[in-house]
């Protein structure tokens, strides 16, 4: 039996856990970061890579803008750019109703300090001639960016380790015992950890940890299907999204076009699987080529998805446990945790060290779900819409 005593233990080595460990280590705290598998191997390593600022939930803007400033300083922070690229983001509408929604999002973004350009059909065709006439309007945000998700969590963990953090992979935390002001973490290996604070950054597995402390989080595991094409001559900059969510696409300078879109598919955190039914590839490419016709002959060479926890109101749980002092939850990032990840890590480190953070996080309290356990099944149906996984599904076909 090995025992380790630290100031804080972070359970889950995705983006949220690694950024938290980094900011704690930067301020001299003794921190242990544990993952049941490898650092960044779940949602954090397989996501689309969008650092999208347009169209976020209004309550999330202060956190989101704080996070973007950290992304923009990534190389100074961790000594690696991780292919961070300020590509900008183009949000497209197909009709007047969608244009109205687009302009509403633009007003919210502007009220939170983001510069947005509004483009009508003619301006869109002139500036981005590869967009089809199906798009009648768009908004463009130059500050939105992309980065390579495969690189980020391991790079952040390496930077945390260089500052003294203990990084432990392949070590599932099986039980967390609260002992009036301190915690004992029992793992599936011989290791036991004693600490004063615990961060639950266990992603799609975080709701179980919350449940062990008597707290309800009606999460549902799902993931947007992802597709990547063969390398093609580079032309697609910025990243492009339709407001109906059927197309979210970007091209990396190596030439591959990465595509995702809704509806999402259900995933399985127990079997550790996130299947993408083959006909979703056909549907995804049909949506993509309706928006960008010059991709009609592109070949998809790989598909994947991930295991992400969604909540009924599509915003995460971030904040102190309502039952157990010293425990902080940060999970359920509803498909947009990549962008806010560094901001979440910084805020959690402030909560642990200073007892408070200047960023408003009240909307993300776990207490908003108190007693509401029926929400997830209703939400599951709404979120994935497709439940048949068959080519006869009218949503997927
Ligand atoms: C396909 C896909 C595309 C996405 N695209 C985008 C995008 O373009 N932009 C964006 O902003 N967001 C995107 N997201 C969302 C983003 O990837 C996630 O919100 C983010 O990665 C969540 O990070 P996390 O650290 O909370 O979770 P995770 O990355 O899931 O990390 C949690 C970790 O906890 C570990 N763990 C769980 N239980 C235990 C335990 N008991 N003991 C030890 N370790 C444990 C797991 O092994 C895992 O590594 C996407 C998600 C998916 C799935």
Q: Is residue 342 part of a domain?
A: yes
Are residues 227 and 276 located together in one domain of the fold?
yes
Could you tell me the sign of the dihedral formed by the alpha carbons of 90, 96, 100, 101, in that order? negative
The pLDDT score that the predictor gives to residue 387 is 45
The predicted model gives 226-239 an average pLDDT of: 97
Q: Is residue 384 part of a domain?
A: no
Are residues 186 and 297 located together in one domain of the fold?
no
User: What is the rounded distance in angstroms from the CA atom of residue 352 to the CA atom of residue 328?
Assistant: 9
CB of 48 sitting under 6 A from ligand 1: yes
The pLDDT score that the predictor gives to residue 373 is 65
Domain boundary among 308, 337, 360: 308
pTM of the model as a whole: 0.96
User: What is the rounded distance in angstroms from the CA atom of residue 311 to the CA atom of residue 108?
Assistant: 22
Domain boundary among 288, 308, 328: 308
The predicted model gives 316-324 an average pLDDT of: 98
The predicted model gives 175-192 an average pLDDT of: 95
Domain boundary among 274, 292, 308: 308
Model confidence over 233-292: pLDDT tens digits? 999 999 999 999 999 999 999 999 999 998 888 899 999 999 998 888 999 999 999 999
The pLDDT score that the predictor gives to residue 379 is 72
Query: What is the overall mean pLDDT for the chain?
Result: 94
3-state DSSP assignment of residue 379: helix
Are residues 369 and 231 located together in one domain of the fold?
no
Q: Is residue 64 part of a domain?
A: no
Are residues 194 and 336 located together in one domain of the fold?
yes
The pLDDT score that the predictor gives to residue 381 is 66
The pLDDT score that the predictor gives to residue 122 is 97
Structure tokens at 361: 């996080």
User: What is the rounded distance in angstroms from the CA atom of residue 303 to the CA atom of residue 184?
Assistant: 40
**CA-proximal residue: ligand 1, atom 14 (nearest):** 335
Cis before 238 (ω within 30) = yes
The pLDDT score that the predictor gives to residue 278 is 87
Are residues 155 and 302 located together in one domain of the fold?
no
Are residues 349 and 361 located together in one domain of the fold?
yes
Distance 16 CA to ligand 1 centre (A): 8
Q: Is residue 162 part of a domain?
A: yes
Structure tokens at 213: 């402390």
Are residues 43 and 169 located together in one domain of the fold?
yes
The predicted model gives 134-154 an average pLDDT of: 98
For residue 46, is pLDDT > 70?
yes
Are residues 163 and 196 located together in one domain of the fold?
yes
Are residues 37 and 155 located together in one domain of the fold?
yes
- Residue 229, domain extent: 87-143+221-308
Model confidence over 333-375: pLDDT tens digits? 999 999 999 999 999 999 999 999 999 999 999 999 987 666 6
Distance 17 CA to ligand 1 centre (A): 10
The count of structural domains within the chain is 2
Q: Is residue 94 part of a domain?
A: yes
CATH number at 94 reads 3.30.9.10
For residue 92, is pLDDT > 80?
yes
The pLDDT score that the predictor gives to residue 370 is 84
For residue 88, is pLDDT > 50?
yes
Are residues 340 and 210 located together in one domain of the fold?
yes
The pLDDT score that the predictor gives to residue 171 is 98
The predicted model gives 26-47 an average pLDDT of: 98
Ligand 1 atom, smallest distance to 39 CA: 49
Are residues 190 and 226 located together in one domain of the fold?
no
The pLDDT score that the predictor gives to residue 395 is 45
User: What is the rounded distance in angstroms from the CA atom of residue 247 to the CA atom of residue 290?
Assistant: 10
Q: Is residue 81 part of a domain?
A: no
CB of 220 sitting under 6 A from ligand 1: no
Q: Is residue 178 part of a domain?
A: yes
Alpha helices in the chain (DSSP H): 15-26, 43-46, 61-72, 74-78, 96-111, 121-127, 149-162, 206-212, 278-291, 337-354, 375-384
Could you tell me the sign of the dihedral formed by the alpha carbons of 204, 205, 208, 213, in that order? negative
Q: Is residue 388 part of a domain?
A: no
Are residues 213 and 335 located together in one domain of the fold?
yes
**Pocket mutation for ligand 1, best pick of 11, 42, 330 (most atoms within 8 Å of C-beta):** 42
pLDDT classification of 382: cutoffs 50, 70, 90:
low
């Amino acid at each position: 039996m090995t025992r380790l005593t630290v100031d804080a233990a972070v359970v889950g080595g995705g983006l949220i856990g690694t950024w938290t460990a980094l900011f704690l280590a930067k301020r001299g705290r003794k921190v242990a970061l544990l993952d049941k598998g490898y650092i960044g191997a779940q949602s954090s390593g397989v996501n689309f890579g969008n650092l999208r600022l347009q169209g976020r939930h209004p309550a999330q803007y202060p956190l989101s803008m704080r996070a973007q400033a950290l992304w923009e300083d990534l190389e100074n922070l961790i000594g690696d750019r991780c292919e961070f690229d300020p590509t900008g983001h183009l949000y497209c509408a197909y009709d007047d109703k969608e244009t109205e929604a687009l302009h509403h999002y633009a007003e919210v973004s502007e009220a939170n300090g983001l510069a947005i350009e509004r483009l009508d059909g003619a301006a869109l065709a002139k500036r981005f001639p590869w967009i089809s006439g199906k798009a009648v309007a768009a908004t463009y945000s130059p500050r939105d960016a992309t980065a390579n998700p495969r690189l980020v969590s391991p790079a952040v963990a390496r930077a945390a380790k260089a500052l003294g953090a203990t990084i432990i992979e392949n070590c599932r935390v099986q039980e967390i015992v609260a002992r009036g002001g301190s915690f004992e973490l029992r793992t599936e290996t011989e290791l036991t950890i004693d600490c004063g604070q615990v961060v639950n950054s266990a992603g799609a597995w975080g709701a179980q940890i919350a449940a062990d402390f008597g707290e309800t989080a009606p999460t549902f595991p799902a993931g947007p299907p992802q597709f990547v094409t063969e390398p093609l001559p580079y032309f697609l900059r910025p990243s492009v999204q339709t407001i109906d969510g059927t197309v979210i696409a970007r091209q990396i300078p190596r030439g591959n076009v990465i595509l995702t879109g809704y509806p999402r598919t259900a995933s399985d955190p127990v079997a550790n699987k996130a299947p993408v039914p083959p006909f979703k590839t056909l549907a995804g490419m049909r949506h993509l080529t309706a928006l960008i016709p010059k991709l009609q002959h592109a070949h998809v060479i790989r598909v994947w998805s991930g295991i992400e926890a969604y909540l009924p109101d599509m915003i995460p749980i971030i904040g102190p446990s309502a039952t157990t002092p010293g425990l902080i939850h940060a999970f359920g990032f509803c498909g947009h945790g990549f962008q806010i990840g560094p901001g979440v890590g910084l805020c959690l480190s402030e909560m642990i060290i200073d007892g408070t953070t200047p960023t408003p996080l009240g909307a993300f309290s776990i207490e908003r779900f108190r007693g509401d356990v029926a929400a997830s099944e209703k939400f599951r149906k709404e979120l994935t819409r497709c439940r048949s996984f068959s080519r006869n599904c009218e949503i997927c076909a």
